[in-house]
A and B are shown apart, each in its own frame.
Chain A
Amino acid sequence: MTSWRSPAGRGLSILFGPTVWALHFIVVYAAESLLCRTAGGDSHGILLASATVLAIVALGCHLRVEGRRLGEEGTARFLAGVAIALDGLSGIALLFVAGAGLALPACTGAMT
């Protein structure tokens, strides 16, 4: 019987990039609501920058791991390619979000 565990793990690995993007998004969005009630806007800026650096590092590490798998054959190579492209797209989307955040003030109403 074919072992399903490691190939399924490889399959799930392609979702690493979008998952990092989603976590970054949730953290920076939810933190604005929470920090603006407690610590103020400056702390959100620091958090946004830190979360972005952390997320980019995580994507970079994953990209390296998947890059090594590009040398494999067949489905493994295909999945590695998908994972790398998704890491890249997630990185771009993440920088979009962080860029918009850094360009706008925290904790101010939309109408101001």
Chain B
Amino acid sequence: MSAIRMTGSAGEKALPNPGPSPADELRSLETIWASPKGWRIVSDVNNTTIGHFYLATAFLFFLLAGVLGLLIRLQLAAPGNEFLSQETYNQIFTMHGTVMMFLFAVPAVEAVGILLLPAMLGARDLPFPRLGAFALWAYVVGGLVFFCTLFFGVAPSGGWFMYPPLTGMRFSPGVGADWWLLGIGFIEISAIAGAIEIIVGVLRTRAPGMTLARMPILAWTMLVFAGMIVFAFPAVILATILLELERAFDWPFFIAERGGDALLWQHLFWFFGHPDVYIIFLPAAGMVSMIVPTMAGTPLVGYRLIVVALIAVGSFSFGLWVHHMFTTGIPARSLGFFSAASMAVAIPSGIQVFAWIATIASGRLRLTVPSLFVIGFLLIFTLGGLTGVMVAMVPFDRQAHDSYFVVAHLHYVLFGGMVFPLFAAIYYWTPAFSRRALSERLGRWAFGLIFAGFNIAFLPMHITGLIGMPRRVYTYPAGMGWDGLNLVSTIGAFMLAAGVFAFLVDFIRHMRLSSKTAGNIWQAGTLEWLPNHPYGTRSIPRISSRDPLWTEPDLARDVEAGRYYLPRSATGARETIVTSPVDAEPQYLMRLSAPGWAHVAAAVFTAGFFLLLTVKLVTLAAMSGVLAVVSIIVWMWDSDPAPTEPVDIGGGITLPTYASGPVSLGWWAMVILMLVAAALYVSYAFGYLYLWTVSAQTWPDGAALPGLSRPLGAAGMLFASAAMLFGAHSLSQRDHVPGTAFMMLIGFGTLALLGGLALDLLAHWRAGLRPQASGYAAMVYANTVLQLQIAAAVTIMAAFAIARSIAGRLTSERRVVFDNLALLWGYAISQSLLGMALTHGFPRLVGP
């Protein structure tokens, strides 16, 4: 692959497209990338539009959940207050936590990624624009309906962590818990869709030359963030599936008297919940790592160490979940493991803080509004981190657990660690999208009120908690010593709200989205400050440093003049350069989806399926589910365009317009999806083995287990399915794929997979096992549910592949649809065999 040559003594570069641009080049780019006008903007897929909608929706939920927070503070302002009833208060505090965590924090950082990453990486857009748009609309519809349950008094009321048995059918018979389980479970799926797009985007659509060593820190943090979502979210998705199965069909996963265990929920929830804190914090830390060097006017100190710290924090955070469960009776040595891991994670967290301080010290910090919010973040987050180390100590945690000390700690970590950086980011990046920057004067007011209000509200809570006030109580008696502290907290909360109001006034007065932006008013060094358009930058630069705008003063001019790569649409479609994951060398030109309605319909119907299921409108839910699948098929039909002749992008580089196998982005996305499925299944296997450790007495002896003939027959069918998969794969590589044989192998292979699973199910049923009988039985049938879920996806994809084969859209060259089917199909067979080994083998291994 040719690279740019450096010639001349003054480092004059030979640019890829040095000549004057043809007159129609720019116009065709603008036409191809034009966003739909008026209400049709809903069908847009461009990352800038989607990012703005995403961020606006997340901020709306921040405001709504903030209002709920104010209601909580009003209720607690005085002892014996009757402003809110107990049930209303329970719903409000549950929704405050749930909305802040699931509908604001995670979507907000994902939104920042979708909005900024392409510009920062030098891509024209993220690789799967319709997937991003699907995730957005599913989140908007699902989130708004979920929030509206409050107005009908049917919102969940069991706390944002939804512990059973309180949230089981016995103690929460209404639909509130179902809203949480189906509504939030579904929004997590949307978060996973966004994460897949971010991982593939960061690793494969960077500008040529932007090696991993030159990637902006925010991209590193978004990569770690999305990777953590892939491994953490499946645990809580599994937990929500199990609890909903218990509530809807009486499968007793969490009912101790029937061989289940309520603590299983806590394990699964916190295996997600603790990493989730870092999922929220790391991208925010990435924003800080972008802002600090600009404001200090010097490169980030310890870039490599910060990358190390990000990966270490992301990894170690998965070993902390039990520190939310120190008082549940877990053996002492195990508590020691989690306590030690909780302290170990402080080391990489500290590395980041010291790197920021060193950067500030090595430069000259301009005290702008973003800088103020960063300083606020450093102070508040560090305090939250210190109290975090305190509650990581088991003896201290025993005293502070479930008290207002924990409420103070978590707000210092989350508000300090995420909301302050987000405000800094909004003030910092607004000039990249708006005609005007936000106001320094109003910004200082906003910062002052938010900083003071936050500390006045939450600092006293440490003491309120230490002198005994429990959390999650709707009122308290006078004379406990809590009255004055609570009143101060309430005053602080309203001061904080006044700060947010000042920000809103500033935002409404000054934010004006425009193609003519205020520009690089901070003199920043990274690519998002190049002149940006709906198609990204006019041409795609070659990167040779971490802060290219600082090291190459002419870069903006040359990029805007179209002198770098791909200054035109080479294929007449939206497209972006796909580069190698480590060295970012161009590999192929990917054509991207244009605006459309199918993905919007898919999002609405998917939301409809889950939401209608919540209110037990099963027929309508099923219809909505079918329509969602149909919409997805319509959306996907045009998503794998035929290869064209290789195209010239400038600088002597000619790229193919199609790739399959491990080079293609579809393959990467499918592999990540398989990791999600594997994480879900590992969580299930943990749950299965966990129930054995706590209630082995309810497990069957050998005589009660199914005989081996049916399971062996089922395994045989799965192996037959695997053989047909290999056969189809072999045929697909021939120059002329024999259509009938190929399609029959796919069809019968899928049937063999379904048949194997059905035979396995029959084996358990005929042995007299019923899912309502015990936690063990419920777990056995949960295995079937998980296997069928993957098999259903394989079946739909197989039908899709057969249809494309008939239509002549699946050939030995144009084969991404089959490659992806083969990956998931192979995975489904492997997981099914593993499930059978677990459910038939393990009880025999340990049985009496």
Q: Are B304 and A32 in contact (CB under 8 A)?
A: no
A7 and B582 contact, Cβ closer than 8 Å, known pairs A99-B340, A101-B337, A104-B332: yes
How far does the Cβ of A32 sit from chain B's closest Cβ, in whole Å? 5
Is A39 close to B, CB under 8 A?
A: no
* Contact residues, A26-42 vs B (CB, 8 A): 28-30, 32-34, 36-37
Is B141 close to A, CB under 8 A?
A: no
Find the residue from B1, B212, B582 having the highest chain A CB count within 10 A. B582
Is A61 close to B, CB under 8 A?
A: no
A103 to B, closest residue via Cβ: B336
- Chain A binding surface, main DSSP class: helix
Tell me the complex Cα distance, A99–B689, Å.
27
Q: Are B343 and A106 in contact (CB under 8 A)?
A: no
Q: Are A25 and B319 in contact (CB under 8 A)?
A: yes
Render B299-342 as a binary contact track against A, CB cut-off 8 A, 1 for contact. Answer: 00000110110011011101100000011011111111101110
**A96 cross-chain contacts in B, Cβ below 8 A:** 340-341, 343-344
**B585 cross-chain contacts in A, Cβ below 8 A:** 2
Find the residue from A11, A85, A105 having the highest chain B CB count within 10 A. A85
| B212 CB contact (under 8 Å) in A15, A32, A79, A109 | A79
How far does the Cβ of A3 sit from chain B's closest Cβ, in whole Å? 8
Q: Are A22 and B318 in contact (CB under 8 A)?
A: yes
Tell me the complex Cα distance, A103–B334, Å.
11
Is B581 close to A, CB under 8 A?
A: yes
A104 and B333 contact, Cβ closer than 8 Å, known pairs A37-B696, A74-B211: yes
How far does the Cβ of A93 sit from chain B's closest Cβ, in whole Å? 4
**A1 cross-chain contacts in B, Cβ below 8 A:** 1, 587, 663
Tell me the complex Cα distance, A81–B308, Å.
9
Tell me the complex Cα distance, A21–B330, Å.
22
**A30 cross-chain contacts in B, Cβ below 8 A:** 689
B contacts with A, residue count (CB < 8 A): 47
Q: Are B332 and A18 in contact (CB under 8 A)?
A: no
A7 to B, closest residue via Cβ: B582
Q: Are B312 and A89 in contact (CB under 8 A)?
A: yes
Is A70 close to B, CB under 8 A?
A: no
Is A58 close to B, CB under 8 A?
A: no
Tell me the complex Cα distance, A74–B1, Å.
17
- Chain B binding surface, main DSSP class: helix
**B311 cross-chain contacts in A, Cβ below 8 A:** 14-15, 18, 82, 86
Tell me the complex Cα distance, A110–B307, Å.
37
Q: Are B693 and A37 in contact (CB under 8 A)?
A: yes
**B689 cross-chain contacts in A, Cβ below 8 A:** 30, 34
* Contact residues, B640-692 vs A (CB, 8 A): 662-663, 689-690
A8 and B333 contact, Cβ closer than 8 Å, known pairs A89-B308, A92-B347: no
Is B488 close to A, CB under 8 A?
A: no
* Contact residues, B202-225 vs A (CB, 8 A): 211-213
**A10 cross-chain contacts in B, Cβ below 8 A:** 582
A106 to B, closest residue via Cβ: B333
Q: Are A86 and B333 in contact (CB under 8 A)?
A: no
**B718 cross-chain contacts in A, Cβ below 8 A:** none
A37 to B, closest residue via Cβ: B693
| B582 CB contact (under 8 Å) in A25, A44, A79, A90 | A79
**B344 cross-chain contacts in A, Cβ below 8 A:** 92-93, 96-97
Tell me the complex Cα distance, A74–B582, Å.
11
Is B394 close to A, CB under 8 A?
A: yes
Q: Are A75 and B343 in contact (CB under 8 A)?
A: no
**B690 cross-chain contacts in A, Cβ below 8 A:** 33
**A82 cross-chain contacts in B, Cβ below 8 A:** 304, 307-308, 311
How far does the Cβ of A23 sit from chain B's closest Cβ, in whole Å? 11
**A85 cross-chain contacts in B, Cβ below 8 A:** 304-305, 308
Find the residue from B329, B333, B339, B348 having the highest chain A CB count within 10 A. B333
Is B545 close to A, CB under 8 A?
A: no
A18 and B333 contact, Cβ closer than 8 Å, known pairs A4-B581, A85-B308: no
Tell me the complex Cα distance, A103–B316, Å.
21
Tell me the complex Cα distance, A7–B203, Å.
12
Q: Are B341 and A75 in contact (CB under 8 A)?
A: no
Is B149 close to A, CB under 8 A?
A: no
| A44 CB contact (under 8 Å) in B211, B333, B340 | B333
How far does the Cβ of A66 sit from chain B's closest Cβ, in whole Å? 12
Q: Are B1 and A2 in contact (CB under 8 A)?
A: yes
Is B583 close to A, CB under 8 A?
A: yes
A78 to B, closest residue via Cβ: B213
- Give 18 pairs: A residue, B residue, CB < 8 Å, sorted on A: A2-B580, A2-B585, A8-B582, A18-B312, A18-B315, A21-B315, A25-B341, A75-B212, A75-B583, A82-B307, A89-B308, A89-B312, A89-B347, A97-B319, A101-B336, A105-B333, A110-B332, A110-B335
Interface residues of B (CB under 8 A from A): 1, 211-213, 304-305, 307-308, 311-312, 314-316, 318-319, 326-327, 329-337, 339-341, 343-345, 347-348, 394, 580-583, 585, 587, 662-663, 689-690, 693, 696
Interface residues of A (CB under 8 A from B): 1-2, 4-5, 7-8, 10-11, 14-15, 18, 21-22, 25, 28-30, 32-34, 36-37, 44, 74-75, 78-79, 81-82, 85-86, 89-90, 92-93, 96-97, 99-101, 103-112
Known: A7-B580, A25-B341. 10 other contacts (CB 8 A): A2-B1, A4-B663, A7-B581, A22-B319, A30-B689, A89-B347, A92-B347, A93-B341, A101-B337, A108-B331
Q: Which 8 A-B pairs have the closest CB atoms?
A: A18-B315, A100-B336, A7-B582, A93-B344, A78-B213, A100-B340, A2-B585, A96-B340
